[in-house]
Amino acid sequence: MKKRNIVTKLVTCFDEVLEVTNQRVVYWRKENALILSDLHIGKSAHFQRSGIPIPSSILAVDLSRLEELIHYFKAEQLIVVGDLFHACYNKDLDTFKVWLSSFKNLSIKLVKGNHDRLQNRIYEAFQIEVFSDFLQIDSLKFVHDFSVIQSDAFTISGHTHPGVLIKGKGKQRMKLPCYQVTKYQLILPAFSLFTGLNTKDAPRGCKNFGFTESAIFEL
C-alpha cells in the first residue's frame, strides 16, 4: 500500500492546541491521543445481512488507515466521539477485535453515538471505556452530537459527517470532507470512507477546513 501523505494544521481550542489532519483524525499531543468520530464498524456487514452486497474490504481499509495513523503519531489512546459501531453485533466486530488485539497499549474512550446500541458487556469485552453522554478532559468536552454550545468548555463532536461544497465559475462544484470550527466548537469529519457528506447543517459562522489526499486548507 502506498504511503499516505499526512498533512496537519494547528488549531487552538481555548487553551488547548490540536492538530487537525487531512486523514479524518485530530491529534492531541498533550494527551497523546487521536480524536475521531463515526467509524461505523459493522456497517458493511449490516448491509450484507439485509441483502445489499457491500464489499467487506471497506472495513479493512478503514482499520489499516487507523493503524497507520496510530503508528505515525505513536498515539496511546483513541477518543471516539460516537458511532464507533453501526448496528448489532456482526462479524465485522470480530475483525475489529482481532485488529485491536495487535495493540498492546492502546486505550479507547467512546462517547456513545446514536448508532452505538450494543450491550455494555460487549464494550467491556473490547475494553472500551464508555461515556453515555459526554466526556470532559480539561477544557475540552467530547459529545456525539452537540445540542447547546456552552461557553465554559470547548465542544468536540461528530455525527453530522460534515462536508463543504466548493463552487466556482462555470458551474464547477466539488464536495470535500471537512472540519467545522467555531470559537467554541469543532465538528469532526466521519472517519469511515463508507459515509456520505453533509454540506447543509453547518453551525453559524464556522470555518471549514476541507482536505484532500495531499492538503488541508481553510475554505
Partner 1 sequence: MKEKGQKPFSFQVQTWERYHNNFSGMVIAPTGFGKTFSVFLGVVIDYLNHPENYKRGLKLIWISPLRSLAKDLAKAMSTAIEEIGLDWEVAVRNGDTPTNLRRKQERLMPDVLLTTPETLHLLFSQKKNSRWFKNVNCIAVDEWHELLGSKRGVITELAVARIRSLSPKLSTWGITATIGNLEEAKQVLIPNKEVKTTMIKAKEKKKIEIISVLPDEVEELSWAGHLGKKMSSKIIPIINAHNTTLIFTNTRNQSELWYQILIEEAPDLLGQIAIHHGSIDKKQRSFIEEAISEGILKAVVCTSSLDLGVDFKPVDCVIQIGSAKGIARFLQRAGRSGHSPFEISKMYAVPTHSLQLIEVAAVKEAVKQHEIEARYPYVLTYDILVQFLVTLAVGEGFKAQETFDLLINTHAFQWLTPEEFDWCIHFITQGGNTLKAYEEFHKVVLDEDGFYRVKSRRIAMMHRMNIGVIVGEVMLYVKYFSGGYIGMVEEFFISKLKKGEAFVIGGKVVVMKQIKDMTVLVKRSKSKKAITPSWLGGRLPLTSYLTHFLRLKLSDAITAKKRERELNFLHPLLKRQQEKSHIPKHDEFLTELIKTKDGFHLFMYPFEGRLVHEIMATLIAYRISKITPLTFTIAQNDYGFELLSDQEIPVNEENLTQIVSKENLMEDITASINASEMASRKFRDIAVIAGLVIQSQPGNRKSNKSLQSSSGLIFRVLNDHEPSNLLLKQAYNEVFDYELEKVRLHNAFQRISESTIILKRAKDFTPLSFPLKVDSLRGTISNEELGKRIERIQKQALKA
CB of 29 to partner 1, least distance (A): 27
Q: Is residue 115 a contact residue for partner 1 (CB under 8 A)?
A: yes
Binding mask 176-195 for partner 1 (x = CB under 8 A): -----------------xxx
Q: Is residue 17 a contact residue for partner 1 (CB under 8 A)?
A: no
Q: Is residue 98 a contact residue for partner 1 (CB under 8 A)?
A: no
Q: Is residue 155 a contact residue for partner 1 (CB under 8 A)?
A: no
Label each residue of the chain as H, E or C. CCCCCCCEEEEEECCEEEEEECCCCEEECCCCEEEECCCCECHHHHHHHCCCCCCCHHHHHHHHHHHHHHHHHCCCEEEECCCCECCCCCHHHHHHHHHHHCCCCCEEEEECCCCCCCCHHHHHHCCEEEECCCEEECCEEECCCCCCCCCCCEEEECCCCEEEEEEECCCEEEEEEEEEECCCEEECCCCCCCCCCECCCCCCCCEEEEECCCCEEEC
Q: Which is nearer to partner 1, 120 or 196 (CB)?
A: 196
The site that binds partner 1 (CB under 8 A) totals a number of residues, namely 39
Which residues, numbered 66-85, are part of the site for partner 1 (CB under 8 A)? none
Q: Which of 47, 121, 159, 209 binds partner 1 (CB under 8 A)?
A: 47
Judged by the rule CB under 8 A, the positions of this chain that interact with partner 1 are 45-58, 61, 86-87, 90-91, 115, 166-172, 174, 193-196, 200, 210, 212, 214-215, 217, 219
